[in-house]
Amino acid sequence: MADLPRTGAPGDAELLRAARAGDAGCLGLLLARHRAGMYAVALALLGHSHDAEDAVQDAALIALRRVGDVRDPEAVGPWLRMVTRNVCRGRLRRMSAVPVADVADVAGSAATDRWDGPPDPAEVIDRHALRDWVWNAIEDLSPGLRLVTMLRYFTDVTSYEDIAALCATPVGTVRSRLHQARSKLVDALSDSVDRAHDDATALSSLHFEMAARTLADAHRGRLASALSPWWSPQADVTWPTGRHTGIDYLPTAFDHDLSDGVRHELLNVVAGREVVIWEAALHSPPEDPFHCPPGVVWVHFLDRGRVSRVRLYHPRRR
């Protein structure tokens, strides 16, 4: 952890300063210290222990992304309770029936609720010193939880239906996995200890450059040679139709697209130690504007640094 007073328990202000500097352990201590008050607020507004627990988890993830917004370091407790209150009000507004006495008070908070909506870990990656902790916490999730989390929060494949189709799993399973992932991320935040984290920004930059070079080579008809250094010769490819092929068919299919006038434009790369996701736009030729879907997602699964399998998916047209 960052340097803190060595005598007595550190105060909220000291923990906040360390958390702002990127110390996840100190943010975990703050949340543990004020969790009882946050839970009491959630229970009073939602009236159900399960819903209240979910709201506290949401508030904890929002605190992760918004910890830099606290103006008064001595008022962390009231700030966390306010975040929790706003999360609960957002949940109540989304319910068909609002089980509270003062409906007008809940509705009136809509204009001032800065924390409404799902937490966005991508914002942490871009803006906050805790970004490497976030990525390492995601890497510690099980493969099933990790993939839905990466898709939901770091790509444009955000709908439960698209994630379910890409992962070949029911929508209910996607919802359950995202709930489990949030819970585990909050638990990891509470249990954080000081450790060296991988440089998530450098990893993403490295894979973006690799993806850009690979697609550039593919447009020159050299996809096979571009893939050989980092793909296993036995890699399995699952196509959007569900068909399975080996790596040898991929250059043939890409060259067929090129001959039809289709071009691939790399938009986004999300990289972890075991999963790397590419998002690309597909540009059909002007004379045949609906020749292909508007985009494709490549989900690469790595084994000891090499691609062992990949799944291709066409997100629904937005």
Q: Which of 51-60, 130-139, 140-149, 253-262 has the lowest mean pLDDT?
A: 130-139
289 or 204: which leads in pLDDT: 289
Read off the pTM: 0.67
CA dist 62 and 55 (Å) reads 10
CA dist 96 and 181 (Å) reads 26
pLDDT for position 217: 93
Highest mean pLDDT among 48-52, 109-113, 299-303: 299-303
Burial status of residue 6 (CB atoms within 10 A of its CB: 0-12, 13-18, 19 or more): exposed
pLDDT at 2 over 80: no
CA 117 to each of CA 31, 94, 167, 273, 314: distance values in angstroms, whole numbers, following the listed order: 20, 10, 24, 29, 26
pLDDT digits (tens, 9 = 90+) for 196-210: 445 566 777 789 999
- What would the two tokens of residue 22 be? 């990127």
pLDDT at 17 over 90: no
pLDDT for position 308: 96
CA dist 267 and 289 (Å) reads 20
- Which residues, other chains included, contact 308 with Cβ-Cβ below 8 Å and sequence gap of 6+? 232, 234, 235, 236, 301, 302
Q: Identify the CA nearest to 277 among candidates 239, 229, 313.
A: 313
Q: Identify the CA nearest to 81 among candidates 123, 120, 33.
A: 33
% of the chain surpassing 90 pLDDT: 41
Q: Which of 16-25, 104-113, 309-318 has the lowest mean pLDDT?
A: 104-113
Amino acid identity at 23 = D
Per the listing, tokens 């593919």 go with 218
pLDDT at 231 over 50: yes
Please give the mean pLDDT across all residues of the chain. Answer: 81
Per-residue confidence at 99, pLDDT binned at 50, 70, 90? very low
Tell me the average pLDDT across 211-232.
93
8-state DSSP, 148:
H
Tell me the average pLDDT across 170-190.
87
CA dist 229 and 215 (Å) reads 14
pLDDT at 71 over 80: yes
Helix extents (H) in the chain:
12-20, 24-46, 49-66, 76-94, 103-108, 121-127, 131-139, 143-154, 160-167, 171-190, 200-219, 223-227, 249-259
